[in-house]
């Protein structure tokens, strides 16, 4: 049955068969018995990009467009290593990156992680930061190097 974002929330209760971990462990198989049998891996206990996309669809169906867009970005970031995500966050803080560096992050998001929405978001920030003087000032960068 097709996923219906207007009816299938909560996914865990309504459509458990659609919910798995990244390695394919089903929600109903995350049990104490499975834990005892050593069948569960901590790094695998997380939402998949697909699950987060479905949550985005639920949010959109409920009329919450910005929340849906946030969750779409989250779905893209789900496969990006945490350290990389935090590097992107740091680059977006005020006076941290040059326009070129932000553009490089945007390209990397597109090319390495298939994350066009997040890439567009970073480019948007670059554009605004240029107008507002929130990019790193070159002289200061040189001074700190």
SS3 97: coil
User: Cβ of residue 131: shortest distance to other proteins, in angstroms?
Assistant: 7
User: Cβ of residue 2: shortest distance to other proteins, in angstroms?
Assistant: 18
User: Cβ of residue 18: shortest distance to other proteins, in angstroms?
Assistant: 10
Nearer to other proteins, 83 or 139 (CB): 83
Nearer to other proteins, 90 or 111 (CB): 90
Which residues pair with residue 26 across a beta bridge?
A: 20
Residues interacting with other proteins, by CB under 8 A? 9-13, 16, 19-21, 27, 30-32, 35-36, 40-42, 45-47, 51-52, 55, 58-59, 62-71, 73-78, 80, 82, 85-86, 88-89, 92-94, 118, 121-122, 124-125, 128-129, 131-132, 134
Which residues pair with residue 20 across a beta bridge?
A: 26
Phi, then psi, of 126 in degrees rounded to 5:
-55, -45
User: Cβ of residue 142: shortest distance to other proteins, in angstroms?
Assistant: 21
| Other C-beta atoms lying within 10 Å of the C-beta of residue 62 | 13
Phi-psi region of 10 (alpha: psi -120 to 50; beta: other; left: phi over 0): beta
Q: How far apart are CA 119 and CA 77, in angstroms?
A: 11
Residues in the chain: 145
Nearer to other proteins, 62 or 100 (CB): 62
């Amino acid at each position: 049955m097709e996923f219906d974002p207007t009816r299938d929330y909560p996914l865990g209760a309504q459509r458990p068969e659609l919910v798995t971990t990244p390695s394919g462990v089903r929600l109903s198989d995350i049990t104490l018995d499975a834990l005892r049998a050593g069948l569960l891996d901590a790094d695998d206990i997380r939402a998949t990009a697909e699950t987060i996309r479905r949550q985005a669809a639920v949010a959109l169906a409920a009329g919450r467009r910005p929340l849906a867009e946030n969750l779409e970005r989250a779905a893209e970031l789900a496969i990006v290593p945490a350290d990389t995500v935090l590097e992107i966050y740091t680059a977006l803080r005020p006076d941290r990156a040059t326009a070129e560096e932000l553009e490089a992050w945007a390209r990397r998001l597109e090319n390495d992680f298939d994350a066009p929405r997040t890439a567009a978001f970073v480019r948007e920030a670059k554009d605004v930061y240029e107008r507002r003087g929130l990019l790193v000032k070159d002289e200061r960068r040189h001074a700190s190097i």
